[in-house]
Structure 1
């Protein structure tokens, strides 16, 4: 079954399952970097909001052997669970400025890759990026939920871009505190988490011993591969790890970090979720850094998570950014 036929089939079967009193439709949703997804919406007559359940991923599961009936059942279960979700309830929020001003935050996206979408939302240019504004709806185990501030909302609030930025600068750093860690620490945690997860599948009496051996082994590997201090890599994000590249705009934090190591900084936009910081050195080849960023974006980062292919430098003497 081709994708469009799959979408129509799922939509039809959900309509049958829902019966009268429900509206079922498929909306095309534009995500970051002009990624288009098909979101199925199931709306009961008295309801005002419902989650977008994206069908693109379900089609991939269908191609791997999942039946349409299993897809329909899973979608219906997600829809029913949404009624008990605090996230959905909180989306039914008052949209006046007074109730939202302490929840206004910013994010960073690539300007050119989002040019069409940016026409409908207030934004500020920064390097080759755009600063966008959002209202924080909720955050918890299920992730971070936000509502994008559109031109319509901005007009309703009668607020300027500078005022939006002022609120966002204050709130974002407060609500999403920065995290700066050495690259090897981040890699270690990822490896440890995966290997300990595997250890959990072994008999309980052996798992602690196995995890300890894994810990020691990874430490040895990292010590062998540790990069000398002047060329160390750091990962900068926020504590939630979601849209953490916005921490690039925490200028006081970046300035304090650069001053602490007495060095200008190369900034590699790893994704919308984090950036990589490398202390400046004449020994580093900027062209190679650019090639590395581009290759990683093309092979490792989902298209909707790409921030930029460029490399930046932050001068702590001049408090300024520059595209390399």
Structure 2
């Protein structure tokens, strides 16, 4: 009788243990991003979090922290590396490794079809970025295409389509050399500050415009900017990443769960991103912003000057990875 009871108890313990899947207990994570609640990225992340919760039987619960509540993207990058924050969606800062500027290569792509090939899981760019970030204890697991970059200004520049004409305007750029050099080659004087302080700079007149964002991002500057130049200087692609040690601790099944879910999310985003960009430009017009369009000749002149004068600097800083990505386009 005692043996029967013991055997029964052992069976019950095994059932309880294995029914928990690959998780011994519920894990609570944090994920941050740069936009406000209810934005497109926020809605996609909420759907992702719900999917992960369902597929893991509630063993992985992820709290969403929108609107930079966890800190500026460069700050959170370090927090993820140290394991203080589990996941993040956004761009990478280049303070620790300048090679990460590869993702911001100016005029690397000029159309949405090109972007779909270059900025995606499994591409040469994605693989190189993953290699760079592993040295920071970060695992890149997906991405979210945002928009093509443009310039927002408080005043109309001189001959905006001619990069050889000095604009005599100081504009904010991200504190990343490729953006600084690009602004100079297009005729502007760059002033590197983070997005957090850029709006204040526009209000005080410290800067007369911004480079480093796109139409959707500039919608929050209503009444401050009056001109938008869709130069397509870079393609904004927010990487989705997590702490590398945390990633290594996941089962192969859960790793596949994340990468498959993020691949599907990226595909859905690409299906609507171009239309949303067009809609954002229309919203800028409705706010009273004048959109300055460019001819093919003007675009070609801007691209040629930047590629001629900025790309060699990037090649020197990034190394063979730059050529590998450019050649794989």
Normalising by structure 2, we get a TM-score of 0.25
The one of the two structures with greater contact order (alpha-carbon pairs below 8 A, sep at least 6) is 2
The structure richer in strand per residue is: 1
Alignment TM-score, normalising by the size of structure 1: 0.25
